[in-house]
Amino acid sequence: MAVWWKGRPATEGVPSVGSATPDEPTLRQWIAQAAVSVSGAVVVGADVDGRICYFNPAAERLTGYTEPEVVGQLLVDLLVPAEQAGATRTAFGLLAAGKVPVRYEIDWLTREGVCIPLAFVTTALRDTSGRIAHVVGAGIDLRQHRRGQHLMEAVLAATTEQALIACDRQGRITLFNAGAERMLGHTAEQALGRDMALLLHDPAELREQADALGVAADSVVVLPARAGGRGTRPWTYRRRDGSTLTVALSVTPLSHTTGELEGYLAVAVDITDQQDRERQLRDEAEQAVHRAAHDPLTGLPNRTVLMDRLDRALTAQRRHQRLSGLLYLDVDRLKAVNDAHGHAAGDALLVEVGRRLAAASREGDLCARLGATSSPSCSRTCATRPSSRRSATASSSTSRNRCSWRPVRCPAPPPAPAALSR
């Protein structure tokens, strides 16, 4: 690789193999000059008045100026925009006062007038008497960094439906995007620096999960990420006003380029409405199944359920010689009740009859309504032995005792319409 120093090969003047070895200070100087020449950082040297005395190849490539063109010129006048000249003079003043190093960001102007952002670290060189003689600054081009930063800021600003929350290794929040603010009610200023688990999570849920896994409560959220997992699971979050919501939370480790763990990024999506809809759909499905198998008035199983039970009872009787009983009840004079007291009274009578029959039935018995005025009751005994028949007779007697045949109180009939007078 060819190394150049001030427009000529850096090896020019370096003793060849077999010649006398240079002393250590000279060798160190050559190495330093070569390193500065091939460095990707912008390196500029100036005297205490700000006149450029050194301009490395990276600075030449960045600005389009050559070193002979800029040497002797004031850095502020040539390279710094007018609105930032004051900051540069302030930096030189600090260096002249011996306050080194100085770090700052500033724009430089290229030959074509394009502004390029640079981050500088500047220090001072002293002469043999200890006085500051020159200023040397090393800077890096911030354009790529800022493009990435602006892209990240745009992504964070656009991601308003998800909460993006980053924390360091100790769990302290370092990032709280607009989606997190909207979802949780905290501003970024209120959240930054706070413990993520203590601020956002339900303490009881954390303790429950920690006890189940045998870990500390403050580490249970990031435990899958520590183990290399990237799964999503539901957690309960607390808003600033104390209300709660369910989120689908995914936690990813954040590592430095060296591989060292720096923290974690949590992505939370509010699934409260989704869970409510799923719960509502489950309830509606259960209600639909119940309606398909039950009488809408009395709530008793309907004809379909009864016929299925009868089929199974007959099959069991043929296979295992088990006895089954079928009791068919008809509510007499229901029409008279409807005519005298109204249909509400007749419905109340059917509901009460069904309730009493169901209460008198044994476990495993079925009391169903066929419709109209019929309410059959189907029961099943255990065996065909004579003792089983006696048990069935005794159970029927007990059921009759449990069924209280007290009168049914019906609602009052609606008032008759008043007669119209001519």
HEC string of 45-93 equals EEECCCEEEEECHHHHHHHCCCHHHHCCCEHHHHHCCHHHHHHHHHHHH
pLDDT, residue 241, reads: 93
Taking the domain 295-402, which CATH number applies?
Answer: 3.30.70.270
* Distances in whole angstroms, Cα of residue 198 to Cα of each of 195, 276, 327: 5, 26, 64
Cβ(378)–Cβ(365) below 8 Å: yes
pLDDT, residue 314, reads: 86
Cβ(166)–Cβ(181) below 8 Å: no
C-alpha to C-alpha distance for 159 and 149, rounded to whole angstroms: 15
Cβ(163)–Cβ(179) below 8 Å: yes
Distance of CA 130 to the CA centre of its chain: 59
C-alpha to C-alpha distance for 316 and 310, rounded to whole angstroms: 10
Token pair 């002797």 is found at 72
346-373 per-position pLDDT tens digit: 888 888 888 888 888 888 888 888 875 4
Query: In 188-297, where do the E strands start and end?
Result: 232-238, 244-255, 261-270
Cβ(230)–Cβ(222) below 8 Å: no
C-alpha to C-alpha distance for 196 and 235, rounded to whole angstroms: 13
135-190 per-position pLDDT tens digit: 888 888 888 766 666 666 666 666 667 888 889 988 899 989 888 998 999 999 99
Cβ(158)–Cβ(168) below 8 Å: no
pLDDT, residue 389, reads: 46
Q: Enumerate long-range contacts of 181-184, CB under 8 Å, 24 or more apart.
A: 183/237, 183/239, 183/245, 183/247, 183/268, 183/270, 184/237, 184/238, 184/239, 184/240
pLDDT, residue 387, reads: 34
pLDDT, residue 79, reads: 92
> Is the N-terminal amide bond of 101 cis, ω within 30° of 0?
yes
C-alpha to C-alpha distance for 401 and 367, rounded to whole angstroms: 17
Tally of CB atoms within 10 A around 331: 16
Tally of CB atoms within 10 A around 313: 19
- Parallel, antiparallel or unpaired: strands 102-109 and 324-330: unpaired
258-272 per-position pLDDT tens digit: 778 888 888 999 988
Comparing 4-15+34-141 with 159-275, is the CATH topology the same? yes
Tens-of-pLDDT digits for all 422 residues of the chain? 333 334 444 344 434 434 445 555 555 555 556 555 555 788 998 888 889 999 998 999 999 999 999 999 999 999 999 888 888 788 777 777 777 677 778 899 999 999 998 888 888 888 888 888 888 888 888 887 666 666 666 666 666 678 888 899 888 999 898 889 989 999 999 999 999 988 999 999 988 888 888 887 777 787 777 766 666 888 999 999 999 999 999 888 888 767 788 888 889 999 888 888 888 888 888 888 888 888 888 888 888 888 888 888 888 888 888 777 888 888 888 888 888 888 888 888 888 888 888 888 888 888 888 875 445 544 333 333 333 444 444 445 545 555 556 776 766 666 655 554 44
Q: Which CATH number fits domain 159-275: 1.20.120.1200, 3.40.50.1100, 3.30.450.20, 3.90.1570.10?
A: 3.30.450.20
Cβ(63)–Cβ(76) below 8 Å: no
Q: Give the DSSP letter string of 361-400.
A: SPTT-EE---BTTEEEEEEE-S-SSHHHHHHHHHHHHHHH
Taking the domain 4-15+34-141, which CATH number applies?
Answer: 3.30.450.20
Where are the domains positioned within the chain?
4-15+34-141, 159-275, 295-402
pLDDT, residue 405, reads: 60
pLDDT, residue 19, reads: 43
Radius of gyration over every alpha carbon of the chain, rounded to an integer in angstroms: 44
Query: Which two tokens mark 204?
Result: 């009881």
Cβ(179)–Cβ(161) below 8 Å: yes
